[in-house]
Amino acid sequence: MTDHRRRAVVGADESLPVVEAAAEELRERGYDVETVVDPDWPAIGRRVAEAVVGGDADVGVCFCWTGTGVSIAANKVDGARAALCADAETARGARKWNDANVLAMSLRLTSPAVAKEIIDAFLETQPEEDERRRFSTLG
């Protein structure tokens, strides 16, 4: 039997405490975490999304100053559904109703404590089956 370790990639265009807090939260949840810091925020969004869509990561979290740029870049990857979340309830809704598979957050607005809450909500929520079917019909 093959031991499948859960993998996560955390990407950011700046190395700030919130990025390390996100990586640490994932490690505490049993993930092997790759952290990528590159000032090229479009490359960060793309790299995180490609890792998730390609199966190299089970979870992808990306950051830029507002979170908007990395979420837009991630959503350009076919199969990625990145959601910009500023709180835990938004993260729950993104998973439940939108089957989000990449989490984007703002470096400017997100504290380490709030990032942990957002990640917990994102990981603990499963998509509703009706919503999965709805998204599978989009072209």
From the list 117, 133, 67, 78, the residue with the least C-alpha distance to 101 is 78
Q: What is the pLDDT of residue 136?
A: 61
Beta-strand ranges (E) seen in 4-50 are 6-12, 31-37
Q: Residue 1: helix, strand or coil by DSSP?
A: coil
Q: What is the pLDDT of residue 129?
A: 80
Beta pairing class for 31-37 and 59-64: unpaired
Q: Residue 68: helix, strand or coil by DSSP?
A: helix
Kindly give the parts of the chain with pLDDT less than 70. Answer: 1-4, 131-139
Please state, in angstroms and rounded to a whole number, the distance separating the CA atoms of residues 99 and 101: 6
Mind listing the domains of the chain with CATH numbers?
9-133 (3.40.1400.10)
Q: What is the pTM of this model?
A: 0.91
Q: What is the DSSP letter of 126?
A: -
- Residue 56's contacts (CB-CB under 8 Å, 6 or more residues apart) are 7, 9, 50
Catalytic status, residue 62? no
Q: What is the pLDDT of residue 130?
A: 73
Please state, in angstroms and rounded to a whole number, the distance separating the CA atoms of residues 120 and 118: 5
Beta-strand ranges (E) seen in 4-112 are 6-12, 31-37, 59-64, 82-84, 102-106
Q: What is the pLDDT of residue 2?
A: 46
Residue from 62, 64, 70, 82 carrying the catalytic annotation? 64
Q: What is the pLDDT of residue 75?
A: 98
Q: Copy the structure tokens of residue 1.
A: 């039997």
Beta-strand ranges (E) seen in the chain are 6-12, 31-37, 59-64, 82-84, 102-106
Q: What is the pLDDT of residue 4?
A: 67
